[in-house]
Chains A and B, each alone.
Chain A
Amino acid sequence: MSQDIRVFIVDDHHLFRAGVRSELEDIVHIVGDASEVDAAIEMIRERVPDVVLLDVHMPGGGGRTVLDAVAQTHPGVRFLALSVSDSPEDVIAVVRAGARGYVTKTVETAELAEAIGSVAAGEAVFSPKLAGFVLDAFANALPADLDPELDQLSTREKEVMRLIALGHTYKECAGRLDISVKTVERHVSSVLRKLQLSNRHELARWAADRRIV
């Protein structure tokens, strides 16, 4: 893992911030952290990190406000959502707002570091959980008035999502499907794009219906 990936942490829980900070300190370059939305926006704009680790549950508008504000002025800053909640509507909301991935807070340090590296490199990071949500959200038959290009997953994309939901790494996916890792990454990015641009009204309804918390 490259020490020169500049990471900023936004989380309103001091304990958690301190914990993540100490775990990641030797692996990446942590340029700062913030516990409030406004302070986070200001500091991120000032320090321009490569990756922002963003808690999706923040008081005062939540992580989404930070994401929207930073995206307007610094579209190059990439976001990795981190959440304790696992609530599909929160997760889907931040991903649709532009986060390049989502991991749960119980993720192990090595996995988190790897995810940060991938996001810094412009890739999408799908945890098994997110892949499961995506499969569920795109599961129903497509209503006639939607664009199949954006509003449904291709067979290959579904296969990749299934393997990720079962805990396979991109490399393992590539091996299983007999395609290159680059192709797997392309599929995942394409799913991310669909997730962000899809007009499937089911995405919103589905997220609201399915309250696992």
Chain B
Amino acid sequence: MTPGLIDTDIFFAGGYPISSPFLFATTRGITATIAPALAVAAASAVGVNAANARALEVLTINFLSPLVVAWGFGTIKTQDGRRREAEEALGVERDKLARADERAEMAAHLHDSVLQTLALIQRRAQENREVTRLARRQERQLRAWLNGGPTLAAGNTLSSALIRAAEEVEDEYDVMVEMSTAGDHELDERTSGLVLAAKEAMTNAARFSGVDRIYVLSETSIGLLRLVVRDQGTGFDPDRVSDDRRGVRESIVGRLERLGGTATIRSKVGDGTEVELEIVVSAE
């Protein structure tokens, strides 16, 4: 209610008996209107001689008019109620929009401040690996949230599964996986197997290479899926892999054979390791 209306209210309420219930109804509600209206009417009746026809006329005006006014306002109130419901629904919509706006603003803020800070921490905290790891994990969660909708990592494709596998390796072994995916393929039994083999290769690199950065490139061209996992670490002599290193033999080479593909491991002591996985798929 604006101050202007309240001023008007006070002015008219004291001025004319019929206008007062009208104004009261708008400002105070229906119950608050009928009660004083009847009181005013009753007070008028007491002061008037009942035998006087003129007084009856006055009585009618004083009793009935407030009732008519009250009835009128009852109708208005009902409509008012409907309007209020509509307004509430609109309000819910508005709230939703406001929340979306708020979210967008928050997202912009997080992007501008927190992501930058996390990047800075990762640059400056090389001596403190736990801090780096925390920053990286937070960064990933934040990116997922900022993105709102499904991220590439949440999808059900080869690339998505590879990204998830890489994130698990990053978290578990405190390394960074630089992943590039060119083209994509649906995730089926064979491509899932390919992801498992790639994850094993990433895990080996994380555990044995002695470096904290692993590169992965997956390429899908017509009929062929090719995936390379590379590190620039200590390397090893592929001919002298001990029997307990089941990872390479079973989880990578054996798995690819079962998938009807090939695994090629290139490594040299002191010169890093490269694991290349290939499977042929029916052209889409």
> Which residues does A use to contact B, with CB under 8 Å?
12-13, 15-16, 19, 23, 57, 84-85, 105-109, 128-129, 131-133, 135-136, 139-141, 162, 165-167, 210-213
How many B residues touch the partner, as a band? 20 to 34
Question: Of A84, A131, A165, which one neighbours B115 at CB under 8 angstroms?
Answer: A84
**Contact A132/B124 with A15-B116, A166-B230 known, Cβ cut-off 8 Å:** no
Interface centre among B116, B143, B178 (most CB of A within 10 A): B116
Interface of A is mostly: loop
B interface with A by C-beta (< 8 Å) = 111-113, 115-117, 119-120, 122-124, 126, 143, 146-147, 151-152, 178-183, 213, 215, 217, 219-222, 228, 230, 232, 274
Contact B215 A167 (CB under 8 A): yes
Residue in chain B with minimal CB distance to A11 = B116
B136 (CB) vs chain A CBs: closest residue:
A106
Question: With A19-B124, A212-B152 in contact, is A139–B221 under 8 Å at CB?
Answer: yes
State the Cβ distance, A139 to closest chain B Cβ, in Å. Answer: 4
Residue of A nearest to B230 (CB): A166
Is B182 a contact partner of A135 (Cβ separation < 8 A)? yes
Can you report 25 residue pairs joining A to B where beta carbons are below 8 Å apart? A12-B112, A15-B120, A23-B123, A57-B112, A84-B119, A85-B111, A85-B115, A106-B123, A107-B123, A109-B123, A128-B215, A129-B178, A132-B179, A132-B182, A132-B217, A133-B180, A136-B181, A136-B183, A139-B182, A141-B222, A166-B274, A167-B215, A211-B147, A213-B146, A213-B151
Contacting pair A13 B116 (CB below 8 A): yes
How far apart are the CA atoms of A133 and B179 in the complex, in Å? 10
Q: Tell me whether B182 and A136 are in contact (CB under 8 A).
A: yes
Given A136-B182, A210-B152, decide whether A166 and B119 contact each other with a Cβ distance below 8 A.
no
Given contacts A129-B180, A132-B182, contact A162 B219 (CB under 8 A): yes
Question: How far is it, in angstroms, between the C-alpha of A83 and the C-alpha of B35 when the chains are bound?
Answer: 71
Q: Which residues of B contact A85 (CB under 8 A)?
A: 111, 115
CB neighbours (8 Å) of A57 from chain B are 111-112
Known: A57-B111, A166-B228, A211-B147. A16 touches B180 (CB 8 A): no
Across chains A and B, which 3 residue pairs bring their CB atoms closest together, nearest first?
A: A132-B180, A135-B182, A167-B215
A13, A23, A166, A213: the one contacting B215 at CB < 8 Å is: A166
Question: Besides the contacts A108-B123, A128-B180, what 18 more A-B pairs have beta carbons closer than 8 Å?
Answer: A13-B116, A57-B112, A105-B123, A128-B178, A128-B215, A131-B180, A132-B217, A135-B180, A135-B219, A136-B183, A139-B183, A139-B220, A141-B222, A166-B215, A166-B230, A167-B178, A211-B152, A213-B146
Give the shortest distance, in Å, between A128 (CB) and chain B (any CB): 5
Q: Check B217 against A165 for contact (C-beta < 8 Å).
A: yes
Contacts of B217 in A (CB 8 A): 132, 135, 162, 165-166
Contact B123 A165 (CB under 8 A): no
**Contact status B112-A13, CB under 8 Å:** yes
Contact partners of A140 in chain B: CB under 8 A: 183
